[in-house]
Amino acid sequence: MMLIRSFLVLAFVSSMAAPAVAAADVKKGEALLTRDCSRCHAVGLTGNSPRPDAPAFRTLATRYPIESLEEALGEGIMSGHPDMPELKYDADDVGAIIDYLKSIQPR
């Protein structure tokens, strides 16, 4: 009986922690994109990109699946235009960025 009770408590605590971790990842992803990309791109739910030819990040899912960015973010995003710097993130940052991008796509 004690084993079952312990398992139930652990399951409950784990389920409570998951949304907090996800929210932290979303915030981290937002902070990274704001720091590295907001000079040219609209990175939030509203607003125009400072650079008119730079797509707003909330529209990226209309171009391709958000998950398809994982490899590029981890290995270094290369752009077709010379003004964009090469950006490369570690695995934790990539996950946070993907979580954030998914959170701002229209449903």
Mind giving me the DSSP string for 22-64? HHHHHHHHHHHHHHHHTTTS--SSSS--SSTTSPPGGGGGGTS
87, part of any domain: yes
Predicted TM-score (pTM) of the model is 0.77
* Residue 1 maps to a domain: no
Report the pLDDT value the prediction gives residue 30, as an integer from 0 to 100. 98
CATH of the domain at 55: 1.10.760.10
Residue 11 lies in a domain: no
Domain that holds residue 87: 21-104
Count of structural domains, the chain: 1
Low-confidence ranges of the chain (pLDDT < 50): 2-17
Specify if 2 maps to a domain: no
Domain for residue 15, yes or no? no
Residue 14, pLDDT score: 43
